[in-house]
Amino acid sequence: MSDEVLDGRLFGEEQMCFGCGPSHPIGFRLAFERQGDVVISRFVPDARYQGPPGIFHGGLVMTLADEVASWGVVMLLGRFGFTGRVEGSLKKAIRIGREVIARATIADDRRRIVDVAIVLEQDEAVCFEGKFRFMVMDEKGAERLLGGPLPERWKELARRG
């Protein structure tokens, strides 16, 4: 997958992912753009997503970062993974009502384990930096984890062998 824009419709119009699901009633409904070896998403958190007054809830900051990291695996490697580990630092509060720019790059690809570096910026300042580790599974492993069949579109992005 090269320089393109994708969103959750890749996995079906009705899928309910909080981060990218196009039909989720209160989700982020993120879209993602690949620019070379970077995946970028832009998001403006509104009052529904605040923690302290005027500030984007910290847990939802992590949700945004995790979602962009997972799409980094999809768009940069053509696979999907499940979050296994998170390391991150909130450097500065993210404000409600102002655009956040999220960037994901592959930090390490060991085929079954992929580390993705994430940076969230607002007003040209780094607000969050982190690394997300994803377990990249084959179809059978993913089905065991999900407890049922893998959706068709996901099968195309499962690790082979």
What's the total number of domains in the chain?
A: 1
* CA distance linking residue 82 with residue 103, whole number of Å: 19
* Domain presence at residue 157: no
* Domain presence at residue 161: no
pLDDT digits (tens, 9 = 90+) for 125-156: 999 999 999 999 999 999 999 999 998 889 99
* Domain presence at residue 160: no
pLDDT for the residue numbered 1: 45
User: Which percentage of the chain shows pLDDT scores above 90?
Assistant: 87
The pTM of the full predicted model, rounded to 2 decimals, is 0.94
Domain encompassing residue 59: 5-152
* Domain presence at residue 88: yes
pLDDT under 70 in the chain at which residues? Answer: 1-3
List of residues 6+ apart from 128 with CB closer than 8 A: 61, 65, 88, 89, 90, 91, 94, 118, 119, 120
* Domain presence at residue 158: no
CATH number of the domain bearing residue 69: 3.10.129.10
* Domain presence at residue 114: yes
pLDDT for the residue numbered 3: 65
